[in-house]
Amino acid sequence: MYENLDELKSDLADYIAELSEAAVKERGAFAIALSGGSDCSQPSSFHQRFSFGRGSCRRIHVCYTLASKNTTVSVSDISDCPKLDLILLGIGPEHHVASLCSNHSALNETDKWVTFIIDSPKPPPERITFTFPVIKPKLYI
């Protein structure tokens, strides 16, 4: 149990740094996806806590699931999905993961690795999200 959010962020950043260093040594690169929703994974507060090994930053690929209202999102075929070593996602107050809410039609998307939602039950209604096939294989605890 953590006393505060800063302790959690610090330990999480250390853990990710360890994973990234191991992946870079093993495969030459590390790919992580960060959501735009929860405080722990917001790029503005989280990226400052990374302490990657010297020279490895250029081998670390960060994918943010963020977009503004004026962004055009190209939804790619699931076969084009990059290999992600880690996906850091929060859980919403109504228990959604990514922007995949219970009983929403976006859960049925299996051909694309990213999809857009225009009717999210949780504000804002317009979002982009990884699809369940991208997230499901990554659920290791």
Model pLDDT, residue 133:
86
Cα–Cα distance for residue pair 97/122, rounded to 1 Å: 12
Average pLDDT over residues 37-49: 50
Model pLDDT, residue 108:
92
Q: Is 50 helix (H, G, I), strand (E, B) or coil?
A: coil
- Residue ranges per structural domain of the chain: 5-138
Give the confidence band of 40 by pLDDT, cuts at 50, 70, 90: very low
Cα–Cα distance for residue pair 59/31, rounded to 1 Å: 8
The domain made up of 5-138 has a fold known as Rossmann fold (3.40.50)
Q: With residue 132 as reference, give the H or E element that holds it.
A: helix 132-135
Quick check: 64 and 36 in contact, CB under 8 A?
A: yes
Cα–Cα distance for residue pair 88/46, rounded to 1 Å: 11
pTM for the full model?
Answer: 0.69
Q: Given a cut of 70, is residue 10 above it in pLDDT?
A: yes
